């Protein structure tokens, strides 16, 4: 076996002791890893830009995708139209006039009730009947008293005539003659009194029937069979002619716009809308609320006169209404062009390069399929007419004029186009 000289072995051991204590290869590996991370951090920000500049499929494909419209839409511009100007108000429905029906004679007992709440009655119709036995007995007694007075007057007249015939002969003294003439005049006066009493008794007997003072609808009834009424006691309440009125509370600022004779549209909960006409405007304003009352006659359907009550309307109901105070210009759009989001109204305005911009607008009245734009949009603006709910701010659209869209095939409807689909 080959062996190193003793001197060489001693030198080799000395060199091994002079080497460093940490390993060389692990240190080199760590250094290379740090260099790689630094290089990657420099090159990474440029990678997305390079990818976007040259997407898969080439630069032409990326440009085509960016320029592709989102939807095909029709555009419209706000159009000024003449709309009726209205004043809105709230109020309650009341009876036009209510008649209180009662008894004029005390002590009568009700024998029959012929009308109930809600009944439609005519003027002079019998509503209730009192027991008439006592009244008829009194009437018979009064007729007998009248007959007695007539007999007494006949006797007194005969005696007075005889005294007048004998007066020239002097058979009767002047005192006796005057006495007979006085008896005649007294008997005549008693006869007239009995006639008046008979007429009063006959009138009292007529009051045994409670009659309707006017045509209308019974709104309340207190009459019950067997009850003995007192003088002036209310037995029925009648809505005269069945007429109802709406008492609207209008602000002092709007009160000056309302005149007698103006048309009104009234809507009550649970009743179909009905027409009305202003009858009177109150001359005063409530000091606490600063509102004034406007009295509106409610018109029955199909009539031009304030007679009867509208279908479904009841006294005491709450109602809203609008007074037509004239005509004015309004800037309107189709209701399909206005989008409701989070409680606000928006339209999509088509701008340069066919990009849409979402604009917040203020809306007012609605009439048919049109809606009033009160603020936020100029008259010359072009807005998307249909399909606004599929758009977003900044989307690119393909514009079709409204006239061309109207003649287009149904399958090419404006707002139903699919992105990228021809």
Inter-residue contact 103 to 336 (CB < 8 Å): no
pTM of the model as a whole: 0.56
Question: CA-CA distance, 410 to 91, in Å (whole number)?
Answer: 48
In angstroms, what CA-CA distances link 151 with 140, 157, 212, 373?
17, 10, 41, 94
Is 164's pLDDT higher than 50? yes
Question: CA-CA distance, 188 to 183, in Å (whole number)?
Answer: 9
- What average pLDDT score do residues 212-216 get? 94
Confidence of residue 402 (pLDDT cuts 50, 70, 90): low
Question: CA-CA distance, 235 to 228, in Å (whole number)?
Answer: 11
Question: Would you tell me which CATH number, out of the four given (2.10.109.10, 3.40.50.720, 3.50.50.60, 2.40.50.100), belongs to the domain 99-237?
Answer: 2.40.50.100
Question: Would you tell me which CATH number, out of the four given (2.40.420.20, 2.30.110.10, 3.40.50.2020, 3.40.50.300), belongs to the domain 71-83+329-416?
Answer: 2.40.420.20
Inter-residue contact 376 to 49 (CB < 8 Å): no
Residue % of the chain over a pLDDT of 70: 76
Tell me which of 74 and 292 has the higher pLDDT. 292
Range from 52-56, 156-160, 416-420 carrying the lowest mean pLDDT: 416-420
CATH code for the domain defined by 86-96+241-328: 2.40.30.170
Q: Which residues contact 208 (CB under 8 A, 6 or more apart)?
A: 108, 129, 130, 131, 132, 135
Question: CA-CA distance, 237 to 23, in Å (whole number)?
Answer: 117
Range from 83-87, 172-176, 263-267, 418-422 carrying the lowest mean pLDDT: 418-422
Question: CA-CA distance, 348 to 355, in Å (whole number)?
Answer: 9
Tell me which of 27 and 309 has the higher pLDDT. 309
């Amino acid at each position: 076996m080959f062996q190193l000289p003793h001197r060489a072995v001693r030198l080799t051991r000395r060199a091994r002791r002079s080497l460093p204590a940490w390993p060389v290869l692990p240190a080199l590996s760590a250094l290379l890893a740090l260099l790689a991370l630094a290089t990657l951090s420099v090159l990474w920000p440029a990678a997305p830009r390079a990818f976007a500049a040259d997407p898969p499929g080439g630069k032409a494909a990326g440009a085509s995708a960016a320029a592709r419209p989102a939807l095909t839409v029709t555009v419209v511009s706000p159009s000024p139209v003449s709309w009726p100007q209205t004043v809105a108000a709230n109020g309650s429905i009341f009876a036009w006039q209510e008649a209180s029906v009662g008894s004029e004679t005390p002590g009568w007992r009700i024998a029959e009730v012929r009308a109930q709440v809600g009944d439609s009655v005519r003027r002079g119709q019998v509503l209730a009947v009192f027991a008439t036995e006592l009244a008829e007995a009194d009437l018979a007694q009064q007729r007998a008293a009248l007959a007695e007075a007539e007999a007494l007057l006949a006797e007194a007249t005969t005696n007075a005539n005889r005294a007048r015939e004998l007066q020239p002969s002097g058979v009767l003294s002047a005192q006796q003659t005057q006495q007979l003439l006085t008896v005649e005049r007294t008997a005549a006066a008693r006869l007239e009194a009995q006639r008046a009493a008979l007429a009063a008794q006959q009138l009292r007997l007529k009051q045994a029937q409670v009659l309707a003072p006017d045509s209308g609808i019974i709104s309340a009834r207190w009459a019950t069979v067997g009850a003995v009424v007192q003088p002036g006691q209310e037995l029925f309440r009648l809505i005269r002619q069945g007429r109802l009125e709406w008492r609207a509370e209008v602000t002092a600022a709007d009160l000056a716009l309302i005149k007698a004779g103006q048309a009104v549209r009234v809507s009550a909960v649970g009743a179909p809308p009905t027409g009305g006409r202003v009858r009177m405007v109150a001359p005063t304003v409530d000091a606490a609320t600063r509102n004034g009352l406007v009295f509106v006659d409610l018109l029955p359907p199909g009539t031009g006169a304030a007679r009867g009550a509208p279908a479904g309307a009841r006294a005491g109901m709450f109602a809203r209404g609008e007074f037509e105070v004239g005509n004015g210009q309004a800037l309107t759009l189709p209701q399909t062009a206005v989008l409701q989001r989070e409680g606000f109204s928006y339209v999509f305005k088509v701008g340069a390069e066919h990009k849409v911009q979402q604009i917040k607008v203020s809306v007012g009245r609605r009439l048919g399929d049109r809606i009033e734009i009160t603020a936020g949009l100029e008259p010359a603006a072009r807005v998307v007419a249909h399909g606004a709910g599929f758009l977003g701010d900044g989307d690119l659209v393909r514009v079709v004029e409204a006239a061309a869209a109207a003649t287009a095939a149904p399958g090419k409807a404006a707002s139903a186009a699919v992105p990228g689909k021809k």
